[in-house]
Amino acid sequence: MGIGGISIWQLLIVLLIVVMLFGTKRLRNLGSDLGSAVKGFRSSMNDEDKAEQQESLDKDKKTAPTARVSANDETNV
The mean pLDDT values, 10 residues at a time, for the chain of 77 residues are: 79 92 89 93 88 80 64 61
Q: State the Cα–Cα distance between residues 67 and 74, nearest whole angstrom.
A: 16
Residue 50's pLDDT is what? Answer: 85
Nearest CA-CA partner of 27 in 37, 16, 38: 16
Strand partners, 6: 3
Kindly provide the b/e burial profile for residues 24-46, where b requires at least 16 CB atoms within 10 angstroms of the residue's own CB. Answer: eeeeeeeeeeeeeeeeeeeeeee
pTM for the model = 0.47
Residue 33's pLDDT is what? Answer: 93
For the chain, the maximum distance between any two Cα atoms, rounded to a whole number of angstroms, is 92
Residue 57's pLDDT is what? Answer: 78
